[in-house]
């Protein structure tokens, strides 16, 4: 980290940079990190989280979670809430991969039943779930059906035999965010997205077979609520988003906002933070288009899960129902949503931007589906393909402290270029196999870029959030088979 004289330690894992740090800061910036994680954070995190604190209408604090790293505009791992009347909305605060998120499905299989079939499963899923540069999916839909996808997400899937009956109840927002306005989506965005449903994409996106880690099984009671009942149980995790559709929506509106800021007398420290009042025409148009992309992302992950169910069913010669392949949950980690929160003595609707951050609503919240409402929402934290992932649970403390938000992953510490210098894809693939992880990737360069050494220690990230109380550990998940886009 850079030398910041005014940073103050608020608690064991919470640090605050006051408004005096930089001219224009309207609120302080809070960073969730152990001292070690804080020292390891790049200068971009501090610059960017304090830039957020300057945006019009931000309330209470700008936040960087323990996985924070230098992004574009917002830091990855950034959270900011805005007054819905006086505040702004920022496409850069959502990111181009609108509603990039995580999905976790369970099985009733144990590792000993799957171990010899991991290669067959991964190879089959690699064929069924296209991954890599410019891939197209196998699902063909009409333009009018694509509009239904934009409006109704997983609900559309349920009506078209692409979801199980209870799937929508196990997705954040019930599988679709209200307020989609397809008329605000460009022709180019539609062209990029219409044939990409059911595709994984590239970068850090993956589809992974995982095993419940017997050593890091933290809370058996809570895990049972989520359908994880035993050690070595096999689950499948999906990480991807809205593909070219969302990327184009983000690009289109970044240009619109870049030009509109002058009109609203807004200046920002980084053009990627281009924003407009949420109540403005541009703000409303972007929100309507962004929700379309968010719903497309929910649908994309849903189609992928159907393919995963097909693959397991084929390999194990049993229906996916018989394998109990129910959805545990699906969380967004790149999105802006209107939510009601209590802060600074008021209870009001705010527009919460989470960019590389996960909603972490605590017990009793009405937005949590009935089966989980008493315990809090499942929070899915994806790690690198070598180190594994975590299932956590949302907390009341997150509602009090961070607008119901926590981290989203392990966070990078090394650039893609540097990672490729450190390790070659083929060598990494071989070493992972020796450690019991079969990985198949669309590109060897891409594989090397996602090596575990390029990421922070996910356990320390998760521990930090647990100590802060904004999400609590349930169980760790160990990778055994991975498809990397």
Partner 1 sequence: MPFRYLPDVALADIAFEAESDTVNGLFESSAFALSDIMVDPKTMRSETTRNVRISSDDLDTLLYDFLTEIIGIKDVDSLLFREVEVDVAPDHRSLRATMKGELIDRERHLLRNDVKAVTMHMFGVRREGARWKATVVLDI
Position among 18, 179, 203, 436 found at the interface with partner 1 (CB under 8 A): 203
Residue 464 interacts with partner 1 (CB under 8 A): yes or no: no
Q: Measured from the CB of residue 154, what is the shortest distance to partner 1 in angstroms?
A: 23
**Which CB atom, from 326 or from 456, has the smaller least distance to partner 1?**
456
CA distance 331 to 298: 9
Residue 286 interacts with partner 1 (CB under 8 A): yes or no: no
Q: Measured from the CB of residue 209, what is the shortest distance to partner 1 in angstroms?
A: 23
Residue 132 interacts with partner 1 (CB under 8 A): yes or no: yes
Position among 27, 52, 254, 451 found at the interface with partner 1 (CB under 8 A): 254
Q: Measured from the CB of residue 201, what is the shortest distance to partner 1 in angstroms?
A: 6
Contacts with partner 1 in 430-459 (CB under 8 A)?
A: 442-443, 445-446, 449
**Which CB atom, from 233 or from 429, has the smaller least distance to partner 1?**
429
**Which CB atom, from 69 or from 151, has the smaller least distance to partner 1?**
69
**Which CB atom, from 191 or from 342, has the smaller least distance to partner 1?**
191
Residue 231 interacts with partner 1 (CB under 8 A): yes or no: no
**Which CB atom, from 235 or from 261, has the smaller least distance to partner 1?**
261
Contacts with partner 1 in 49-78 (CB under 8 A)?
A: 69-73, 76
Contacts with partner 1 in 401-430 (CB under 8 A)?
A: 412-418
Contact residues for 265 (Cβ-Cβ < 8 A; gap 6+) = none
Residue 251 interacts with partner 1 (CB under 8 A): yes or no: yes
Residue 192 interacts with partner 1 (CB under 8 A): yes or no: yes
Residue 133 interacts with partner 1 (CB under 8 A): yes or no: yes
Residue 44 interacts with partner 1 (CB under 8 A): yes or no: yes
Compose the 150-189 pattern: x for residues touching partner 1 by CB under 8 A, - for all others: --------------------------------------x-
| Range 425-451 burial, b when 16+ CB lie within 10 A, else e | beebbeebeeeebbbbbbeeebbbbbb
Residue 384 interacts with partner 1 (CB under 8 A): yes or no: no
Q: Is the dihedral angle over the CA atoms 214, 219, 224, 227 positive or is it negative?
A: negative
Q: Which amino acids are annotated catalytic?
A: 408
Residue 123 interacts with partner 1 (CB under 8 A): yes or no: no
Q: Measured from the CB of residue 244, what is the shortest distance to partner 1 in angstroms?
A: 4
Q: Could you tell me which stretch among 153-161, 164-172, 176-184, 268-276 binds partner 1 (CB under 8 A)? A: 268-276
Neighbours of 260 (CB within 10 A): 20
Residue 201 interacts with partner 1 (CB under 8 A): yes or no: yes
**Which CB atom, from 337 or from 412, has the smaller least distance to partner 1?**
412
Position among 172, 208, 272, 330 found at the interface with partner 1 (CB under 8 A): 272
**Interacting residue ranges for partner 1, rule: CB under 8 A:** 42, 44, 69-73, 76, 92, 95-97, 132-136, 188, 191-192, 196, 201-204, 243-244, 247-248, 250-251, 254-255, 258-259, 270-272, 274, 412-418, 442-443, 445-446, 449, 485
């Amino acid at each position: 980290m850079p030398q910041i004289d005014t940073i103050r330690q608020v608690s064991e894992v919470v640090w605050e940079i006051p408004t005096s740090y930089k001219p224009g800061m309207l609120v302080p910036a809070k960073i969730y990190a152990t001292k070690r994680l804080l020292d390891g954070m790049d200068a971009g995190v501090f610059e960017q989280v304090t830039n957020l604190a300057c945006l019009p209408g931000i309330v209470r604090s700008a936040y960087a979670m323990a996985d924070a790293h230098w992004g574009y505009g917002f830091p990855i791992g950034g959270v900011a809430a805005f007054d819905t009347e006086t505040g702004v909305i920022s496409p850069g605060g959502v990111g181009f991969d609108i509603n990039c998120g995580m999905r976790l499905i369970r099985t009733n299989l144990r590792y000993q039943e799957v171990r010899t079939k991991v290669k067959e499963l991964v190879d089959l899923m690699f064929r069924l779930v296209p991954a890599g540069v410019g891939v197209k999916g196998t699902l063909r839909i009409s333009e009018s059906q694509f509009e239904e996808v934009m409006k109704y997400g997983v609900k559309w899937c349920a009506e078209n035999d692409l979801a199980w009956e209870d799937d929508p109840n196990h997705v954040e927002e019930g599988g679709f965010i209200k307020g989609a306005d397809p008329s605000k989506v460009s022709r180019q965005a539609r062209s990029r997205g219409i044939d990409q449903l059911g595709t994984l994409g590239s970068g850090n996106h993956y589809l992974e077979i995982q095993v419940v880690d017997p050593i890091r099984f933290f809370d058996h009671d809570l895990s049972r609520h989520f359908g994880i009942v035993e050690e070595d149980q096999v689950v499948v995790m999906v990480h991807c988003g809205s593909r070219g559709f969302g990327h184009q929506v983000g690009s289109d509106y970044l240009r619109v906002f870049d030009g509109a800021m002058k009109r609203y007398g807004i200046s920002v420290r980084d053009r990627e933070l281009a924003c407009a009042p949420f109540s403005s025409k541009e703000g409303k148009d972007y929100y309507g288009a962004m929700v379309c992309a968010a719903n497309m992302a929910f649908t994309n992950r849903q189609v992928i899960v159907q393919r995963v169910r097909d693959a397991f069913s084929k390999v194990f010669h049993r229906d996916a129902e018989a394998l109990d392949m129910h959805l545990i949950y699906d969380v967004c980690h790149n999105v802006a949503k209107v939510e009601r929160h209590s802060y600074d003595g008021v209870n009001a609707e705010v527009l919460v931007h989470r960019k590389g951050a996960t909603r972490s609503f605590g017990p009793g919240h009405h937005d949590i589906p009935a089966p989980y409402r008493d315990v809090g929402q499942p929070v899915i934290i994806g790690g690198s393909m070598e180190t594994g992932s975590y299932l956590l649970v949302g907390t009341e403390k997150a509602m009090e402290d961070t607008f119901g938000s926590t981290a989203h992953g392990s966070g990078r510490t090394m650039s893609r270029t540097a990672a490729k210098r450190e390790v070659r894809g083929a060598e990494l693939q071989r070493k992972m196999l020796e450690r019991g992880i079969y990985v198949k990737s669309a590109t060897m360069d891409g594989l090397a870029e996602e090596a575990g050494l390029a990421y922070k220690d996910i356990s320390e990230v998760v521990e930090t959030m647990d100590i802060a109380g904004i999400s609590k550990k349930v169980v760790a998940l160990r990778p055994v088979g991975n498809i990397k886009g």
